[in-house]
Structure 1
Amino acid sequence: MTEAKKYGFTTTILHSDRQKSIEHGSLHKPIHTSVAFGYKDARQLASVFQGKESGYRYGRQGNPTVSALEDKITGMEGGLSTICFATGMAAIGAVVQGLLRAGDHVVSSAFLFGNTNSLWQTVGAQGVSVSMVDATDVANVEAALTEATRLVFVETIANPRTQVADMQRIGDLCRARGILFIVDNTMTSPYLFQPKRVGAGLVVNSLTKSIGGHGNALGGALTDTGEYDWTRYPHIAANYRRNPAPQWGMTQIRAKGLRDFGASLGPEAAHKIAVGAETMALRQQRECTTALALAQMLEADPHVAAVHYPGLASHPQHALATELFRSYGSLLSFELRPEVDCFDYLNRLQLAIPASNLGDTRTLVIPVAHTIFYEMGAERRAAMGIAESLIRVSVGLEDTADLVEDFRQAMPD
C-alpha cells in the first residue's frame, strides 16, 4: 500500500474535508441542519446505536458538519480523535462530567483562565479535591500528587499573565505515574504547539479563539492524542471497555460529557470555525510578529511598570517558551504605573477595542482586575499576580506599525 503523502500544516487543513466524499463536489463540508438521521434498514439503526458500525444517531451526539471539523482538529493536533462542544468551557466540563468521581484529586496550574478557575472551585464543592500549584516548576506538581490524583491540568501560556507551564517535565512525571495529563492549548493553538509532544493525553482547544479566529462562532474541542494508556484509568465503565483500549476515554466522554450533558456544537458554528481554521497559520504568523513588536515598545515606555509576554528576554519562562513553541503567541499583558489611569488609557486607544474575547481579527483589550477577574476578589488576584492596572491585549491583524503607534499615542505626554 502506498503511504499517504504528508503535507504542511495549512495545506492539510485546506484539503482535509476532501479526504472523505463531499456531497455534490462541494469544496467545504456543507452545513447539515438535520437533528435526526433516518435509516432504510432498522437493523442498521440498531447497529449504529450499539456502536457496531459508524453512523449518526441524533444531533446532540454528532452531525456530519461537526464530524468534519473534528477530523480537522484531530489532524492539527496529530491525535486519534476529537469531540467538539458548544464552547471551550464545555470541553473542560466534559472531562469533569465524564472522568471524575467523588474522592478523586486533581492537580491544576494556579495560573488559569478565570472561568476554569471557577469550575475547579465548583468541582471542589462536589467531592473532588483540587490542588492549585505553580506549574512553571514540575517540583510543585510532584509535591501535590496523591494516590487519588486522576489528572494534571495546565494551560500552555496562562491567561492573562502569560506564565508558561513546565510541560515536558510534567508530562514525563505523569507518564511515569500513570496520571492523565491534560493541556489547554488555546493560547498557543495547534499551529504554535502540539501538546502531544510533551505527553499530554488530552488537549483542550477553545475553537472560539485562534482556530475559528473571527469572533463569530463559539466552540470547543477535546482531542485524544493517543499518548495516555486508558487501561490505567480506574473509572472507565464496563460497557465502554468493550471497545479497543485506546478508545475508552473518548467513548466515555462522548457518552457522559456530550450525550448526557448536552453541550453540543451546532453545525452552523462548526462550519464557520472550519472555514476560519483554514487561515489560522497565516493569521498567527502576523499576530505573533505584531505582539512581539508591541511588547518591546511597551517594555521601553517609562509609563509601563511591567510587560508580560514570553517573547521578551525578560520573561521568566522565555527560554522554556523558546524551547516549546514555534512562536510566542498573540496574547500579552502589561501593567501601567500608578500615575496612569488604566481606564483613561484604554479610552485613548483608537484601534484596539475594549472587549473580552481573544484570538479575533481585531486587537482587543480589557482591564483584567475590573472585569474577567473581578469576581475572584482582590486577595485571590494578588496571589495570582494580577495587578489592579493590568491590561490584557489580544493582538489582531492590524498593520504592525499602526497598532504599535496606537498604543504609544495613548500614553500621557
Structure 2
Amino acid sequence: MNNKGFTTRLIHADRLINQPESGAVHQATNNSVLFEFKRAQELVDVFQGKQTGHVYSRSSSSSTVALQNILNNLEGGAGAVTFATGMAAITATMLSLFKAGDHLILSRFLFGNTRSLTETMESLGISLSFVDVTDLTKVEKVLQVNTKAVFLETIANPVTQVADLTAIGRWCSANQLLFIIDTTMTPPNLFDAKSVLASLTISSLTKYIAGHGNVLGGAVVDCGTFDWSKFDNILDIYRGAAVAQWGLTQIRKRGLRDMGGTLAPDSAHAISVGLETLVLRTQRICDNALRLARYLQSHPKIAKVYYPGLADHPQHARAKELFKGFGGILSLDLADGIDPIAFLDQLKLVICATHLGDTRTLALPVASTIYFESSAEQRKQMGVNDNMIRMSIGIEDFEDLVSDFDQAFSHF
C-alpha cells in the first residue's frame, strides 16, 4: 500500500494493515482488561518478550496496537506507542530514557505544560539548557560531554517560531544524540520527520490527528534513524535481539506500563476514525489560516501577526521548505489600548477555549492563561506579549470568520 497516495493509505489503513475480522473496515474496540492463555508457558513468553501478545490492557490491547500500526505506517517508522494524552507521551519518554546526571538541550519556546514538566526533570537531577532552536549555532554552544538529546517542537506555540530542523537533525546525527521532535502542530501529511533525521516524534493525538475535540491521546513513534546500541541508558533487560526496538521497549515498559498513562480502547477507535479526514481538515485549516493571517496583518487594530505563512515571518522560507502547509496556529498582538479579554468577549463565532487542531476556530488570551505560571522574563524570552491572542483556525467558511472579526473590531 506504500505506493498509494497519502490520503488513500490513510483511509484504508485500518482494514489493510490491521485486517479486522468479518470484513470490517475498522478494528473492533476491545475493552477486555485481561487476556487468557491456554498454556502457561505462552503467558511467560509474552511477559519476557519472547512472543508477541497482550497480557494486561494497561500495557497493550488490540485496539491500541491497531492505532499504533497506522501511526507508524504514516511516519514510515520502526514502531509506535500510544498514551492517554500527549503530555503522558512526553513524560513517559523523558523519564524512561533519561536519568540523573544527563544533560538535554531543549527549545526555549516549549509550550507551557511541557515547560512545566522540565522543572520536574530538573528536580530529578537531569540538567537542561534552553536555547533558541531557530539557530543551530545557539544549540552547538551548549553541547556537553553528558548531553543525550535535543528536544524541540516543529512550530512553537504560540509565537510560531520554526526550528532549524534540518541543520539540527544533521548535527544530532553527527554527535550521536537523540533528536526528539514534538510534531503536534505538523502531522505527517504536512511534515516528514525522517527527512530531518528525527529519532523520535511525539505528538498529542488530541489535536490535528483526532481533530474534533472529542478524545484525548498521545503517541511516540520511533523513526528508525537512531542506533540504539550507542545509547548507554538502555537497561540490560531491554537489550534484546532487535536493536531498533530497544528505545521503544524501554518507553513501553518504564514509561507506559510503569507510569500507567494508557490510552483507552474507545479512545483509540475514535482517534482512528478522526484520522481518516486528516488531509481534508488540514488543507482547509491551512488555507483559512493563511487567508486570515493576511487579513489581520493589514488591519489597523492589529500590531503584529505571527504565522509562518506570511512572507515577513522570520522563518518563512524555512517553513516553506519543510512543510506542505503552514499549520493552523496563528497568534496576534492587538494594538495598544485594546484589552485581549475584552476583545475576545466580542467574538460571536470564534470560541474562547483552550485547545488546538479542532474543526472550529478557537482563541484565548495567552499571557493570562496558558503562560500564567511562567514569569514575565520567561514570557519575554519566548516572545509572548501581554496583549497576545492565540488562535487555532478551524474549517469554517472564511467569509464568516472575517465577518466575526470585523464586528468585534467595531467595538474598539
> Equivalent residue for 1:305?
303
> Equivalent residue for 2:14?
17
1:172 pairs, out of 123, 147, 170, with: 170
Q: Specify the code of the residue in structure 2 equivalent to 1:197.
A: S
> Equivalent residue for 2:354?
356
Alignment of 1:188-267 (within 5 A): 188-267=186-265
Alignment of 1:5-404 (within 5 A): 6-19=3-16, 20-404=18-402
Q: Specify the code of the residue in structure 2 equivalent to 1:11.
A: T
Contact 1:293-1:404 at 8 Å conserved across structures: no
In structure 2, how many angstroms separate the alpha carbons of the residues matched to 1:329 and 1:40?
50
- Structure 1 segments (4+ residues) deviating >3 Å: none
Offset at residue 379 of structure 1 (A) = 2.2
Q: Specify the code of the residue in structure 1 equivalent to 2:50.
A: K
42-51 vs 192-201, greater mean Cα deviation: 42-51
SS at match of 2:300: coil
Contact 1:330-1:395 at 8 Å conserved across structures: yes
In structure 1, how many angstroms separate the alpha carbons of the residues matched to 2:208 and 2:374?
26
In structure 2, how many angstroms separate the alpha carbons of the residues matched to 1:397 and 1:237?
46
Q: Specify the code of the residue in structure 2 equivalent to 1:337.
A: A
Offset at residue 343 of structure 1 (A) = 1.4
SS at match of 1:362: coil
Deviations 1:64-121 (A, max 9, x none): 1111110111112111100000100111111122110100001001011101111112
In structure 1, how many angstroms separate the alpha carbons of the residues matched to 2:54 and 2:370?
38
Q: Specify the code of the residue in structure 1 equivalent to 2:154.
A: T
SS at match of 1:120: helix
Q: Specify the code of the residue in structure 2 equivalent to 1:154.
A: L
Provide the alpha-carbon RMSD of the alignment.
Answer: 1.0
In structure 2, how many angstroms separate the alpha carbons of the residues matched to 1:144 and 1:219?
33
Contact 2:19-2:27 at 8 Å conserved across structures: no
Deviations 1:107-148 (A, max 9, x none): 001011101111112211210001000000011111111011
326-335 vs 336-345, greater mean Cα deviation: 336-345
Contact 2:108-2:381 at 8 Å conserved across structures: no
Deviations 1:181-229 (A, max 9, x none): 0000001111100211101100011000000000110100000000111
Contact 1:78-1:194 at 8 Å conserved across structures: no
Offset at residue 5 of structure 1 (A) = 5.3
SS at match of 2:188: helix
**What's the TM-score once normalised by structure 1's chain length?**
0.98
**What's the TM-score once normalised by structure 2's chain length?**
0.98
In structure 2, how many angstroms separate the alpha carbons of the residues matched to 1:261 and 1:107?
24
In structure 2, how many angstroms separate the alpha carbons of the residues matched to 1:315 and 1:372?
23
In structure 2, how many angstroms separate the alpha carbons of the residues matched to 1:188 and 1:408?
29
Offset at residue 21 of structure 1 (A) = 2.8
- The gaps in structure 2 that reach 5 residues or longer are none
Offset at residue 300 of structure 1 (A) = 0.1
In structure 1, how many angstroms separate the alpha carbons of the residues matched to 2:392 and 2:67?
25
Contact 1:89-1:116 at 8 Å conserved across structures: yes
240-249 vs 218-227, greater mean Cα deviation: 240-249
Q: Specify the code of the residue in structure 2 equivalent to 1:380.
A: Q
In structure 1, how many angstroms separate the alpha carbons of the residues matched to 2:351 and 2:183?
24
Offset at residue 377 of structure 1 (A) = 2.4
Identity of aligned residues (%): 50
In structure 2, how many angstroms separate the alpha carbons of the residues matched to 1:401 and 1:15?
34
SS at match of 1:39: coil
In structure 1, how many angstroms separate the alpha carbons of the residues matched to 2:227 and 2:165?
18
Q: Specify the code of the residue in structure 1 equivalent to 2:248.
A: M
Q: Specify the code of the residue in structure 1 equivalent to 2:278.
A: M
In structure 2, how many angstroms separate the alpha carbons of the residues matched to 1:232 and 1:405?
56
Q: Specify the code of the residue in structure 2 equivalent to 1:120.
A: T
Offset at residue 408 of structure 1 (A) = 2.5
In structure 2, how many angstroms separate the alpha carbons of the residues matched to 1:277 and 1:374?
32
In structure 1, how many angstroms separate the alpha carbons of the residues matched to 2:304 and 2:204?
28
In structure 1, how many angstroms separate the alpha carbons of the residues matched to 2:199 and 2:393?
30
- Compared CA separation, residues 197 and 5, structure 1 to 2 (3 A): closer
For these two proteins, the number of residue pairs brought into alignment is 410
SS at match of 2:89: helix
Contact 1:134-1:141 at 8 Å conserved across structures: yes
In structure 2, how many angstroms separate the alpha carbons of the residues matched to 1:232 and 1:52?
23
Contact 1:174-1:180 at 8 Å conserved across structures: yes
